[in-house]
């Protein structure tokens, strides 16, 4: 069980404890739960529920904290767009001085549309199409991260056919266990990612010999929601050894893309320390004279996002099993169903937040048993109509939503201090089938 759920049998953190661990949240005696300077009840009253709410000030502060920890090293933040790809989030990252790590044509186009300079974009991913590679070369992005010898040949061929030379780094699979959930572990030898550590010298030599590509360094990314620095230290030490070996073989190695994966506290425990992370980078790379890139997604935006929901109905009794059915569901926030992820849940109303506690399952209305946000959760009693915030939903939340059960995608609200704006409208039902056609040859 690698997700940072509280230890079995330990009591769930209370609403007050969850709020106390999150400086961007406060419980106002009259207005209820606030994100930065805005009462979430006010947002819910205007845009309805379910709805996503992001805190711009919180995202900015986290980026600044990471950059401050990295100060003094030649280390640059490339925000992993897949965690939350909203244009306003990308704009905020660009304004804060971050570049982007993208994994698809769509993410590359989003990053450019939001104003991120091509020179600040790196392209990762285990399967890139020739079309995506052509776009990356046409845009002249910072680098393509190569995940296999086969992909190296493809990028070389595409670039050469365009008469161009593309900077590439080789993503090495360091074969360390990040100690996280199996579905988000990416740096073990039997994961699909990267080039085997032992094959790196031969593939690097091949890259140096091929037309159309210029190998400039290495990349690695060992997994997500990593809370301990030990796997980073092990992977970075192996990577630094490889830099020495490649240089000894006469190659130029200017950059190391150190990946992302920094974890956050989903309960009331602290997340990964960016200061300790910066220390791990320094320990392995400080005397190598390489430009470092880091690619966090979750750590920058996860805590800054909430999913607002309203209780539709409650059923059952605590003696058997008590269910609180929300209007939000697994199609909106997939993480509990997909990764057994723990998310704190806090009532918006101060009276609800301090009321008597009961043990309940917090579920959505979809016809799947997996449509559950929390099992056996100690929560204040919630009556129909009571609103809650599902916490830490800013990363891998809206980006993973589907329209299962013909449920439209949710609106998104951006809070910034005491201001707020709707930054995506609730999808209309008609839009769900707007691109669909019934064949002419069907009887009408
Ligand atoms: C997903 C991913 C990231 C970001 O991971 P987080 O856990 O959100 O920090 C960074 N780099 C690569 C290559 C990724 O695939």
Note the pLDDT tens digit of each residue in 189-247.
777 789 999 999 999 999 999 999 999 999 999 999 999 999 999 999 999 999 999 99
- Nearest atom in ligand 1 to the alpha carbon of residue 82 is 1
Using most ligand atoms within 8 A of CB, pick from 4, 83, 125 the residue to mutate for ligand 1.
83
| Gap from CA of 188 to ligand 1 centroid (Å) | 15
Q: If you average pLDDT over every residue of the chain, what do you get?
A: 95
- State residue 315's pLDDT score: 94
| Gap from CA of 223 to ligand 1 centroid (Å) | 7
- State residue 1's pLDDT score: 32
Q: Is the pLDDT confidence value at 2 over 50? A: no
What confidence category does residue 8 fall into, taking pLDDT thresholds of 50, 70 and 90?
low
- State residue 318's pLDDT score: 74
- State residue 354's pLDDT score: 84
Cα–Cα distances in angstroms (integers) from residue 88 to residues 60, 412, 414, in the given order? 12, 10, 8
Q: Where are the domains of the chain?
A: 15-55+302-432, 56-301
- What backbone torsions phi and psi does residue 343 show, to the nearest 5 degrees? -130, 130
pLDDT in tens, 287-323: 999 999 999 999 999 999 999 999 999 999 878 889 9
- State residue 317's pLDDT score: 82
Cα–Cα distances in angstroms (integers) from residue 350 to residues 4, 42, 235, 309, in the given order? 27, 14, 46, 16
- State residue 82's pLDDT score: 98
Q: Is the pLDDT confidence value at 7 over 70? A: no
- State residue 179's pLDDT score: 75
- Nearest atom in ligand 1 to the alpha carbon of residue 295 is 10
What is the rounded CA–CA span in Å between residue 385 and residue 363? Answer: 15
**Ligand 1 interacting residues, C-beta cut-off 6 A:** 80, 82-83, 101, 124, 221, 224, 259-262, 295-299, 395
What is the rounded CA–CA span in Å between residue 224 and residue 416? Answer: 27
pLDDT in tens, 187-196: 777 777 899 9
- State residue 415's pLDDT score: 98
| Gap from CA of 83 to ligand 1 centroid (Å) | 8
Residue range 56-301 in CATH 3.20.20.10? yes
- State residue 3's pLDDT score: 47
pLDDT in tens, 30-54: 999 999 999 999 999 999 999 999 9
- Nearest atom in ligand 1 to the alpha carbon of residue 124 is 13
CATH classification code of 15-55+302-432: 2.40.37.10
Q: Is the pLDDT confidence value at 324 over 70? A: yes
- Residue 425 · residue 86 · CB < 8 Å: no
- State residue 187's pLDDT score: 73
Q: Is the pLDDT confidence value at 143 over 80? A: yes
Planar angle of CA 340, 345, 347, nearest 5 degrees: 160
Using most ligand atoms within 8 A of CB, pick from 4, 76, 89, 101 the residue to mutate for ligand 1.
101
- Intra-chain end-to-end CA distance of the chain, in Å: 53
| Gap from CA of 391 to ligand 1 centroid (Å) | 20
| Gap from CA of 30 to ligand 1 centroid (Å) | 40
For residues 313-335, average pLDDT: 94
| Gap from CA of 224 to ligand 1 centroid (Å) | 6
| Sign of the CA dihedral running 134, 140, 141, 144 | positive
Using most ligand atoms within 8 A of CB, pick from 102, 297, 298, 339 the residue to mutate for ligand 1.
297
- Nearest atom in ligand 1 to the alpha carbon of residue 263 is 7
Residues marked active site are found at 367
- Nearest atom in ligand 1 to the alpha carbon of residue 171 is 13
* Per-residue b or e along 73-109, where b marks 16 or more CB atoms closer than 10 Å to that residue's CB: eebbbbbbbbbbbbebbbebbbebebbbbbbbbebbe
């Amino acid at each position: 069980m690698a997700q940072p759920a509280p230890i079995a049998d330990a009591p769930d953190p209370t609403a007050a404890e969850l709020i106390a661990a999150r400086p961007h949240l406060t419980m106002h005696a009259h207005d209820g739960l606030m994100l930065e300077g805005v009462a979430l009840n006010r947002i819910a009253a205007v845009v309805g529920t379910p709805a996503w709410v992001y805190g711009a000030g919180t995202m900015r502060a986290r980026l600044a904290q990471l950059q401050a920890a990295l100060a003094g090293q030649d280390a640059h933040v490339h925000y992993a767009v897949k965690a939350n790809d909203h244009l306003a989030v990308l704009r905020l990252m660009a304004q804060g001085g971050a570049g982007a790590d993208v994994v698809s044509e769509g993410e590359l186009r989003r990053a450019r549309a939001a104003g991120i300079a091509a020179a600040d974009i790196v392209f990762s991913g285990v399967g890139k199409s020739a079309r995506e590679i052509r776009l990356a070369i046409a845009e002249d992005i910072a680098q393509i991260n190569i995940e296999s010898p086969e992909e190296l040949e493809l990028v070389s061929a595409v670039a050469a056919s365009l008469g161009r030379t593309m900077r590439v780094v080789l993503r090495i699979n360091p074969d360390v266990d990040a100690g996280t959930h199996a579905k988000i572990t990416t740096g073990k030898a039997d994961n699909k990612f990267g080039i085997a550590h032992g094959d790196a010298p031969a593939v690097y030599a091949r890259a140096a010999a091929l037309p159309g590509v210029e190998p400039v360094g290495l990349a690695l990314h060992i997994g997500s929601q990593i809370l301990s620095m030990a796997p980073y230290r092990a992977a970075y030490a192996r990577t630094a050894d490889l830099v020495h070996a490649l240089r000894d073989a006469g190659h130029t190695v200017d950059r190391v893309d150190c990946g992302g994966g920094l974890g956050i506290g989903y309960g009331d425990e602290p997340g990964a320390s960016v200061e300790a992370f910066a220390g791990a980078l320094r320990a392995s790379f400080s005397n190598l004279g390489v430009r470092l890139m880091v690619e966090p997604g979750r750590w920058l935006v996860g805590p800054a996002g909430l999913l607002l929901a309203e209780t539709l109905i409650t059923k059952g009794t605590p003696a058997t099993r008590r269910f609180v059915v929300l209007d939000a569901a697994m199609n909106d926030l997939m993480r509990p169903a997909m990764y057994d992820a723990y998310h704190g849940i806090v009532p918006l109303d101060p009276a609800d937040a301090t009321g008597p506690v009961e043990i309940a399952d917090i579920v959505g209305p979809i016809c799947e048993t997996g449509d559950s946000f929390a099992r056996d959760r100690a929560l204040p009693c919630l009556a129909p109509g009571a609103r809650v915030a599902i916490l830490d939903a800013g990363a891998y939340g809206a980006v993973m939503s589907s329209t299962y059960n013909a449920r439209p995608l949710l609106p998104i609200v951006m809070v910034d201090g005491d201001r707020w704006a709707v930054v995506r409208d609730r999808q209309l039902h008609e839009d769900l089938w707007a691109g669909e056609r019934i064949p002419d040859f069907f009887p009408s």
